[in-house]
Amino acid sequence: MDEAALGALVRELAPRARLYGLRHLRSEAAADDLAQTAMVIMIESLRAGKIRELDRLPSFVLGTCRMLALEWKRGEGRRRALREVFAEDLAPEALRAPTTIDDARLGTCLDALGEKPRTIVVLTFYEELDADQIGRQLGMAAGAVRVARHRALAQLATCLGAAA
């Protein structure tokens, strides 16, 4: 089948597929996706010779739309169930409840760090420098800065956890 004939079929059947999507999925975006996917499946099936009777093509497209809509609804049901179970874990960081830390306790824990680890933590979180920049400032390799920062943060976490 030539490209012009395929184009004509798509122009004729895509609006029907989209209408099916609107009725059953109730979403403009989902209906557009359904119509596009149905057209791709139709074109691939025609090119592969899977459809021999062209007069049955509208039924094939409708059946494809029905299967795609059912698949989408099942997937949406699974996604909804996962959101209910893992809503807190899946929430973007900005929407999660903020963790509060006692400033005085944090200051005490920072004071307990050595001078170089404390400097690395301060440059990382207050000056917002990366490991390369901190390394140049302190005369250290970037890898050594990352290791020292990791150890300092572990020490802070232990200190803050013990003080709780």
In the block, residue with structure tokens 């791709």: 40
pTM over the 0.85 mark: no
How would you write the pLDDT of the chain (164 residues) with one tens digit per residue? 788 989 999 999 999 999 999 999 988 999 999 999 999 999 999 999 998 888 999 999 999 999 999 999 898 888 888 878 877 776 666 555 556 677 888 888 999 999 999 999 999 988 889 999 999 999 999 999 999 999 999 999 898 886 54
Q: Cα 89 from chain centroid?
A: 13
The full set of domain ranges for the chain reads 3-94, 103-163
Q: How far apart are CA 97 and CA 119, in angstroms?
A: 29
Q: What is the architecture of the domain spanning 103-163?
A: Orthogonal Bundle (1.10)
